[in-house]
Homo-oligomer: A and B are copies of this chain.
Amino acid sequence: MISILALRARIARGELSAEDAVRRALDAIEEKDPAIGAFVTLDREGALAAARKTTGPLAGIAVGVKDTIDTADMPTEIGSPIYRGWRPKADAALVMMIRGAGASIVGKTTTTAFAHSDPTGTKNPHNAAFSPGGSSAGSAASVAAGMVPLSFGSQTGGSVIRPASYNGVAAMKPSYRLIPTAGLKPYSVSIDTLGLFAATVPDVAFALSAITRRDFAPLGRKPRIGVARQIFAGPPAPECEEALHKAIDALTAQGIAVTDLADPPEFATAWELQPVLANVEALHALAWEWKTQRALMPPKLSKSLQWAETLSIAQFDEARQAGKRARIAAHDSFKEIDAVISYSAPGMAPALSENSTGDAAYNRLWSLLGTPCINVPGCRASNGMPVGVQVISRFGQDATALSVAAMLEEALRT
């Protein structure tokens, strides 16, 4: 993988121009992407031109953008034939922030249709017989394959953290609305959150700081860590339990106190009702597609929308209320701790033959809560596939989450 910080250091030392750094990414895409299929659209000339004319903090950083995010100069197809060749009028807010920080958008990355769970054709760079997960499939795979040092995706269930875990890359779903969502095709406006993928946690922190112009100050002391096993979400694969144990041991070895946390009862209810809120909101957001283009809607998405149609307004309101109550409970839960560690996913990347993007079981609660979540890579299952560990902090404490995740990443290396 390509580290943003390492690449920026080389550019700063004059060893490489920003344009050459972007050209190398484009060459890597040309070489590797035919086997992986992470990109839908490429803009070689636009990316090089951007690299020539900028001096921003991300100059020379080639970026992949999930194809649910509007770009004025490239099609935005949302993983669906309904949007084939569609050109939005304006760039999404995030796209303008990426360009404003001096990065070069090299192309749009594959997404499941409307960021749901019908698999893309993208392969997992660690083993082409496996899925990269979804919905931000191409964004995770493009970083994992060393094609680009940075990519962006979005999460409503587990569409950032889960593919990051499957592909062995660092990734973050920041606090809800830390990255503005204007220009993202919505699935569930109350939950949809933009996030990013990079080689390491410090790379993620640097890029997020550059695009949001926020400082993420290090914690400056040993964190207090809780372990959340999310019993309500069912048990994980043994490899994921093992990764969590490794994380606990690595932190404990650094003299960091790690304690088991009891989940407040509001969490189980919110976890259970998150799909109600998400899919009823999707029924609103995708009403035009669902009513007028039904034959082109893929099977898993169609099943979710059909299910949403059976839900009552009372059930929808109950789900919104459950989210609100769980957010209050989460605020209290984080009083004594800086971060929670948990599983990133219940298992490793599914085999392509399973026709699945994996399971968001350990992500969807936090997506609903709007808390910052980070996938820390570094573990591997016996089949060679990556397994991540998830770090979660209180809403708005993105700096703390990044600080703890960086410590954990470092601890897992030693």
Contacts and interface: CB of A to CB of B under 8 A. Distances in A.
B213 A93 contact: no
Contacts of A100: 287, 291
Interface stretch (A176-184, A254-262, A371-379): A176-184
B93 A83 contact: no
Contacts of A72: 288, 292
B313 A213 contact: yes
A278 to B, nearest CB: 13
Interface string A270-312: 0000000000010011011101100000000000000000000
A281 B189 contact: no
A222 interface: no
Contacts of A291: 96, 100
B86 A89 contact: yes
A49 interface: no
A190 B97 CA distance: 19
Given A97-B284, A100-B291, A180-B284, 5 more contacts: A91-B287, A96-B291, A182-B285, A183-B285, A183-B288
Contact of A177 (B177, B189, B289): B189
A90 interface: yes
A288 B91 contact: yes
Contacts of A289: 90
5 contacts: A72-B288, A82-B89, A91-B287, A180-B285, A183-B285
Nearest to A290: B96
A114 to B, nearest CB: 11
Contacts of A313: 212-214
A182 B190 contact: no
Interface in A77-119: 82-83, 86, 89-91, 93, 95-97, 100
Interface residues of A, number: 32
Residue from A72, A95, A180, A292 having most chain B Cβ neighbours under 10 A:
A180
A54 to B, nearest CB: 14
Contacts of A287: 91, 93, 96-97, 100
Contact of A285 (B93, B95, B212, B292): B93
A123 to B, nearest CB: 29
A186 interface: yes
Nearest to A88: B89
Given A83-B89, A182-B186, A96 B288 contact: yes
A183 B96 CA distance: 20
A324 to B, nearest CB: 10
B93 A284 contact: yes
B182 A284 contact: yes
Nearest to A92: B288
Contact of A281 (B96, B180, B288, B292): B180
Contacts of A214: 313
Nearest to A280: B180
Contacts of A90: 288-289
Interface in A183-229: 183, 186, 189-190, 212-214
A83 B190 CA distance: 27
Interface string A56-94: 000000000000000010000000001100100111010
A325 to B, nearest CB: 13
A287 B183 CA distance: 11
A285 B179 CA distance: 11
A100 B309 CA distance: 14
Nearest to A179: B284
Please name the 7 residue pairs, one residue from A and one from B, whose CB atoms are nearest each other, closest first: A96-B287, A180-B284, A90-B288, A182-B285, A93-B284, A91-B288, A182-B186
A126 to B, nearest CB: 36
